[in-house]
Structure 1
Amino acid sequence: MTLLTTWPESGPDTVVRRTSDPAEIAAALKPLGVRYEQWPVRADVPADAGGEAVFAAYGPEIDRLSAEEGFTTVDVLGLHPGDDPEYPVRAEAAREKFLQEHTHDDDDEVRFFVSGSGVFYLHVDGEVHAVLCERGDLLGVPRGTTHWFDMGTRPSFTAIRFFHQEDGWIGNFTGSAIASLFPDHDTLTAGYERDGAAG
């Protein structure tokens, strides 16, 4: 259900672009310096697979991208409902943190979705581009790009993260409430499933 939706930064009343075509998504994001590509889905990798299984399954793709982009640190982050009694607290805290608009000074934000989904919102040149990513999608947001991320009210995903710096994720929060103006992960996902991507 990969989907790109673009609105004016003033709000979601007017849709500038809406497409689920991977080639169109890549072409629309390229002028922003955003990398979008799809990797083969390894159907034998469980949705909640740990790092060892993920690295074994996607080793060639990880090695290729790391060599191309000079990444020095790669890890696997997973968040799934289940038997973990701490899941509700951890999920709410993680969602709240990433929902705040921010930038990164020293590193790109590059994620590959092994399972599940998430939405990256890119706030660039007077527009907001919401990229709903799912299993098989890789998105690379360049350092300095204003953005936020929503994993939904009940997060369930596993992602490979790529870093140039060992410090990992360091965000500079803008203090803007713009994220509250636009449809969240759950709304976009529900709308896509109900209406399809046409339009």
Structure 2
Amino acid sequence: MTTLSIFDQQDPETPHTVTRDPAEIRRRLSEQGVRFEQWPTQALPQDADQQQILSAYADEVSRLKSECGFQTADVVSLSADHPDKAAFRQKFLDEHTHSEDEVRFFVRGEGLFYLHFDDQVYAVLCQQNDLISVPDGTRHWFDMGPAPEFTCIRLFSNPDGWVARFTGSGIATELPRYEQLAGAAS
């Protein structure tokens, strides 16, 4: 279940707020400039390729491109049997920023976005049908867990795609990881 857990940076082990209410999640994220939506499920075969997925969600993707100026969209998938899953996980676990919004729509599976605002960290467990748009310049990181299972549509303003600037902060190591937070949400 989609879950928002909010931590104080001074007490990074225990969240002071936890909600699974989509309207409350949307409200709290919106206060921080983060877009959160839940799109309707589209019927797709289990082995749907990028073109089938983008076609199924063409109206939603087109709307976001028009509203936000995105230039490209693609699909990324990762499964627990991928031989480089540990390296992929590690790549996203350090706090970083981007010069454009980071937009992900979860077609299937789940992942955990951590968003760092002042002395608060918002951990958003996104699941199937969730869209999150992290504003450019927002300090954040992503944890896909040790056995990732997800397919996401990504939208980019920069045709070159994902470019991260790492902050050098160690805060990502101080908060509970996917294993603790996703397990607690089940």
Q: If the TM-score is normalised by the length of the shorter chain, which range does it land in?
A: over 0.9
Q: Percent identity?
A: 49
| Map of 1:102 onto structure 2 | 96
1:151 to 144, 153, 159: 144
Distance 2:148 2:48 in 1: 15
CA contact (8 A) 2:109 2:127 kept: yes
Q: What TM-score comes out, normalization by structure 2 length?
A: 0.95
* 2:166 paired residue number: 173
Compute the TM-score of the two structures, normalised by the length of structure 1: 0.89
Match of 1:3 in 2: 3
Question: Structure 1: which amino acid aligns with 2:89?
Answer: R
State yes or no: 1:33 paired with 2:7: no
Question: Is there any run of 5+ residues in structure 1 with no aligned partner, and where?
Answer: 194-199
User: Is 149-158 or 171-180 further displaced after alignment?
Assistant: 171-180
Alpha-carbon offset, residue 11 of structure 1: 3.2
RMSD (Å) for aligned C-alpha atoms? 1.3
Q: Give 2:74's aligned amino acid.
A: D
Q: Secondary structure at the match of 1:24?
A: helix
Residue by residue over 1:160-194, the C-alpha shift from the partner in whole angstroms, topping out at 9 and shown as x without a partner, is 0001111211101112221111111121111122x
Q: Which segments of structure 1 move beyond 6 Å, counting only runs of 4 or more? A: none
The one-letter amino acid of 1:97's match is: K
Structure 2 stretches lacking a partner, 5+ long? none
Whether the aligned pair in 2 keeps the contact of 1:48 and 1:157 (CA below 8 Å) is no
Structure 1 residues 3 and 47: alpha-carbon distance in aligned structure 2, compared to 1, 3 A threshold: farther
- Partner residue in 2 for 1:17: 17
Residues 55-74 of structure 1 aligned to structure 2 (within 5 Å): 55-74=54-73
